[in-house]
Homo-oligomer: A and B are copies of this chain.
């Protein structure tokens, strides 16, 4: 599974394996990702490589981790529809850490900044919202 002679870093190889399992549904939304110690043992990797691999998936928004609890595959959440109208503008970016804590945003979750035609600005979490243009 892990090829130590490959050019691809070990943690990326592990991240690739887990990502494929998530995409294939073998690790379903809400399912627990194997613990760090399990992964260390199963793939004969050190803790840095394992943590780095899970970190990659967290940054991709595929899993969520919390201290003391098992890491799990992020459940696909329902997206509220936000209506856009002519003159509205949208940019996307990652929130800063203070913003994340203030707004309660998970790591790996971008935000969408909507500037309305009248100048008002709104911020939406990307994972829970879908923008739709209406006439």
How many of these chains are in the complex?
A: 2
A79, A93, A108, most chain B CB atoms within 10 A: A93
Check A103 for interface membership: any CB of B closer than 8 A: no
Chain A 61-99, CB-CB to B under 8 Å as 1, else 0, gives: 110000000000000000100001111111111111110
A91 touches B130 (CB 8 A): yes
Partner of A132, one of B12, B89, B108: B89
Check A10 for interface membership: any CB of B closer than 8 A: no
A15, A19, A56, A84, most chain B CB atoms within 10 A: A84
Which residues of B sit under 8 angstroms from A60, Cβ to Cβ? 94-97
Chain A 119-133, CB-CB to B under 8 Å as 1, else 0, gives: 000000011011111
Chain A residues close to B by CB (< 8 Å): 12, 15-16, 19, 56, 59-62, 79, 84-98, 107-112, 126-127, 129-135
